[in-house]
Amino acid sequence: MPSEPLSRGRIVATAIDLIEREGADAVSMRRIAAELGVGVMSLYNHVPNKDALLNGVAEAVLSKIEFTDDPDAHWTDRVRMQARAFRQIAHHHPRSTMLVVSRQLHSAAGLLPVERALATLRSAGFDGADAVRMLRMFIAYIVGSLLREVGVTPTFAPVQTRTIKADGVDPALFPEVSSLADLLAECDHEAEFDFGLELLITAIEAHAGRREGTR
Amino acid sequence: MPSEPLSRGRIVATAIDLIEREGADAVSMRRIAAELGVGVMSLYNHVPNKDALLNGVAEAVLSKIEFTDDPDAHWTDRVRMQARAFRQIAHHHPRSTMLVVSRQLHSAAGLLPVERALATLRSAGFDGADAVRMLRMFIAYIVGSLLREVGVTPTFAPVQTRTIKADGVDPALFPEVSSLADLLAECDHEAEFDFGLELLITAIEAHAGRREGTR
DNA sequence: GGGGGGTTACGTACACCGTACGTCCGTGTT
DNA sequence: AACACGGACGTACGGTGTACGTAACCCCCC
């Protein structure tokens, strides 16, 4: 009695589930098949290869984020909302975040956020070139922030609490790091994200004003 | 006649070389051993496992960047210089960049850039909490920018020229994306990086001034 | 000079991976 | 009833990281 008929959707869904439960390294075709109670090669009837499957995962996660865009709001609020919506990925699918961010999607799911962002920036009065620049800047900041949040990028940043405090950084070699150890060890991701976001928004608002003024 | 005695350093060096020549996926213990004309298991006398080896690679790449810090320069210039120095990684070791950025290093090589950055920000008058916040923001932006530059993060951004132009995005569904296709397709990484960097520096300079004023 | 111990190099073996290929079976169509 | 077809599956191949056992070497001490 095959409970359900096995489809690309079901495969992608169990892959996401598996990633969130056991991490991206746990994903293998055999593992997914086992999870579905199915032969390994049956998967290949619905997915051409593992890479495509992972693209499917990225796409699915990305298309789950809820963009509640209010076209009447001030553009700064719309930018804020979109950035925050994007950050939801790190909350809802922390262990898939790296996947979402490191795969280039040519599909509608991948283009939709870009489209919205560009529309918002254009509505703020930026010309095409500026809108693209701003978008790239925001994406860079957001991607970097998400990676830190999900623990991919702690390269010299949060550093495990114990490592930096007990394990002992040599205060002679790294005076600042060791004196700020407590601050470096803790990280309120939401606050940090918002801090940078506000700074960026303020900055491009000023940038826009300057442009306006010199025109 | 063993030309040279095989050491952790030599192993890491050939790993870097291999990555830059053939990409990170080409790296396997067997491949590295072959490259060195050596048995696979001999590597394990100098490196505990593959993961540690990759940490070694990240560390080596990171420690190669040249920070020419001038303590007498204005702090904004110092920040600029440090950020640009970091971006050199993407130039000198493009295919290792992902590795450098996605591994947390507790070693001196990893802590040194943090130390410098914090010192610079402190010298600008920021208190500890602000310095850490600023640092995190810069790191997020820089990491995100590097990933775009080395092609890991084109998730809805540069998008392959042909894909977006010839392959045809539906103009009805994505009016902005398709009308800005040309701008999205090209990307002067250095200019984009500097644009965002200047914006960030200006923003935190203003932030500092505001703080000063209200105190 | 002759052990002996520690370091290093190496081969074999195991469990796991992605997936190409061939086979079988259930179903829908003619 | 006969047939074609698509999906499920088993087997097999070449790859991966690495645990383990073995053998060669060098240096020190007797």
* Cβ proximity of B139 and A196 under 8 Å: no
The pLDDT of residue A164: 46
- pTM confidence score: 0.92
Q: Give Cα A121 to chain centroid, integer Å.
A: 20
Confidence of residue B154 (pLDDT cuts 50, 70, 90): low
* DSSP secondary structure code for residue A27 in this structure: -
pLDDT tens-digit readout, B93-133: 999 999 999 988 888 888 999 999 999 999 999 999 999 99
**B39 burial level (CB within 10 Å; 0-12, 13-18, 19+):** exposed
Helix axes A75-92, A50-64, angle to 10 degrees: 130
Closest partner residue to B110 among A105, A147, A156, by Cβ? A156
Question: What is the rounded CA–CA span in Å between residue B119 and residue B71?
Answer: 10
Report yes or no: B59 and B74 within 8 Å, Cβ to Cβ.
Answer: no
Chain B residues close to A154, C-beta within 8 Å: 104
Q: Which residues lie closer than 8 Å to B203 by C-beta, 6 or more apart?
A: A199, A200, A202, A203, A206
Please name the residues between 119 and 158 in chain B that touch chain A, using a CB distance below 8 Å: 119, 122, 128-129, 131-133, 135-137, 139-145, 147-148, 152-157
Q: At what angle do helices A8-22 and A50-64 cross, to 10 degrees?
A: 80
What pLDDT, on the 0 to 100 scale, is given for residue B161?
44
Pick the residue with more confidence: A214 or A195? A195
Q: Distance in angstroms, CA of A41 to C1' of C21?
A: 11
Q: How far apart are CA A53 and CA A71, in angstroms?
A: 35
B152, closest residue in chain A (CA to CA)? A102
Q: How confident is the model at residue A108 (pLDDT cuts 50, 70, 90)?
A: confident
pLDDT at B170: 79
pLDDT of residue B131: 96
User: Would you call B144 and A148 a contact, using CB atoms and an 8 Å cutoff?
Assistant: no
- pLDDT (mean) for A200-206: 93
How does pLDDT run across B204-215, given as a tens digit for each residue?
Answer: 998 877 766 554
CB-CB contact of A85 with A44 (8 Å): no
Q: Is the Cβ–Cβ distance between B87 and B193 less than 8 Å?
A: yes
Q: Could you read off the pLDDT of A82-105 as tens digits, one per residue?
A: 999 999 998 999 999 999 999 988
What is the residue-averaged pLDDT of chain A? 88
Residue A23 burial (CB count, 10 A): 11
User: What tens digit of pLDDT does each residue of A32-45 get?
Assistant: 999 999 999 999 99
Question: Does position B164 have pLDDT exceeding 60, yes or no?
Answer: no
What pLDDT is stored for residue A59 in this prediction? 95
Residues of A in contact with B54 (CB under 8 A): none
Q: Which nucleotide is nearest to B51 (CA to C1')?
A: D17
d(CA B122, CA B30): 47
Tell me which residue of B54, B76, B214, B141 sits closest to A143, measured CA to CA.
B141
In this structure, chain B runs to a length of 215
∠ CA A208-B122-B142, rounded to 5°: 50
Cβ partners under 8 Å of residue B172, min gap 6: none
**A20-24, A65-69, B176-180: range with highest mean pLDDT:** A20-24
Under the banding of pLDDT at 50, 70 and 90, the label for residue B71 is confident
Cβ distance B15 to B57 under 8 Å? yes
Nearest CB to B199; choose among A110, A177, A203 = A203
Cβ atoms A64, A56 nearer than 8 A: no
Which chain A residues are Cβ-neighbours of B114 within 8 angstroms?
A: 156-157, 174, 176-177, 184
Segment holding B92, helix H or strand E:
helix B75-92
Q: Contact at 8 Å (CB) between A135 and A117?
A: yes
H/E/C letters for each residue in B9-75?
HHHHHHHHHHHHHHCHHHCCHHHHHHHHCCCHHHHHHCCCCHHHHHHHHHHHHHHHCCCCCCCCCCH
Q: How far does the CA of A41 sit from the C1' of C19, in Å?
A: 8
Identify the closest residue of chain A to B110 by CA–CA distance.
Answer: A156
Give pLDDT, residue B39.
94
Residue A27 near residue A15 (C-beta atoms within 8 A): yes
Of B103, B107, B91, residue with least CA distance to B54? B103
B39 in A contact zone (CB under 8 Å)? no
* d(C-alpha A55, C-alpha A63), whole Å: 12
- Closest protein residue to C12 (Cα–C1'): B41
* pLDDT tens string A117-151: 999 999 999 999 999 999 999 999 999 999 999 87
Does residue B157 carry a pLDDT above 50? no
Cα–Cα dist A136/B89, whole Å: 20
- What is the pLDDT, as a whole number, of residue B114? 92
B101: chain A residues, CB-CB within 8 Å:
147, 153, 155
SS3 state of residue B91:
helix
With 60 as the cut, is the pLDDT of residue A199 above it?
yes
Across the range B142-159, mean pLDDT stands at 75
- B18 with B58: CB under 8 angstroms? no
Give the pLDDT of residue A69: 87
Residue B141 has pLDDT above 80, yes or no: yes
Which nucleotides of chain D are near protein (any atom < 7 Å from a CB)? Answer: 7-12, 15-21
Tell me which residues have their CB below 7 A from strand D: A 2, 5-6, 38-42, 44-46; B 27-31, 40-41, 44, 49-51
**Over 80: is that where the pLDDT of B169 sits?**
no
Non-local CB neighbours of B201 within 8 Å, separated by 6+ positions: B76, B79, B80
Whole-number pLDDT of residue A155: 46
B190 close to A147: Cβ distance less than 8 angstroms? no
Give the least confident one: A157-161, A200-204, B167-171. A157-161
- Say which residue the tokens 């495990």 belong to: A160
| Contact indicator for A145, A192 with CB cutoff of 8 Å | yes
Residue type, A183: L
Give exposure, B27-36, as e/b (b: 16+ Cβ within 10 Å).
Answer: bebeebbeeb
More confident residue, B4 or A172: A172
Footprint of strand C on the protein (CB under 7 A): A 27-31, 40-41, 44, 49-51; B 2, 5-6, 38-42, 44-46
